[in-house]
């Protein structure tokens, strides 16, 4: 089953390690908390991330995996992703709006193909 989640975030930075590992951080407001919780379904799956800035076409950022999701006391969340340089569009990461930009919020589309659980409650009763 393919799951797609659209969430409004701000850019929290990215880094590239010498071994080709790329870390990407996105931050979401309280209003996006339910979508952050939905994103937890994508743990241990490859996630294709696309970003859409206001007034621009969508750009593909690459294929990542969830590294960490942190929700603070205000309901704001930090989503950390990790991927390999070979599957990530580094030039597009550099196009993401910085916090100093006028409009720092943008939408991301997270898409992952996950396996559905076999069985369900009926199997537990047997």
Domain for residue 126, yes or no? Answer: no
pLDDT at 124 exceeding the cut of 70: no
Whether the full predicted model's pTM is greater than 0.85, yes or no, is yes
Domain with residue 69: its CATH number is: 2.40.30
Residue 125 lies in a domain: no
Question: How many structural domains is the chain composed of?
Answer: 1
DSSP alpha helix (H) spans, 12-108: 33-39, 90-93
Model pLDDT for residues 9-27, shown as the tens digit of each residue:
999 999 999 999 999 999 9
On whether residue 121 sits in a domain, the answer given is no
Could you tell me the residue range of the domain that residue 19 belongs to?
A: 2-116
DSSP run (H or E) holding 70: strand 59-71
Residue 40 lies in a domain: yes
Q: How many CB atoms lie within 10 A of CB 114?
A: 15
Question: Residue 97 falls within a domain, yes or no?
Answer: yes
Is residue 122 assigned to a domain? no
pLDDT in tens, 76-115: 999 999 999 999 999 999 999 887 777 889 999 999 999 8
The CA-based angle 96-1-51, given to 5 degrees, is: 10
| Secondary-structure breakdown of the chain: helix, strand, coil percentages, each rounded to the nearest 5 | 20, 50, 35
């Amino acid at each position: 089953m393919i799951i797609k989640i659209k969430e409004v975030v701000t850019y929290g930075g990215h880094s590239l390690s010498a071994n080709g590992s790329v870390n990407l951080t996105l931050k979401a407001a309280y209003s996006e908390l339910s979508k952050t919780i939905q994103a937890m379904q994508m743990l241990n799956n490859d996630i294709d991330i696309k970003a859409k800035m206001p007034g621009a076409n969508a750009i593909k950022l690459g294929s990542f995996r969830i590294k960490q999701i942190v929700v603070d006391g205000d309901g704001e969340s930090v989503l950390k992703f990790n991927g390999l340089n070979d599957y990530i569009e580094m030039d597009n990461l550099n196009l993401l709006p910085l916090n100093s930009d006028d409009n720092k919020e943008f939408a991301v589309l997270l898409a992952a193909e996950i396996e559905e659980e076999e069985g369900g409650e009926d199997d537990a009763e047997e």
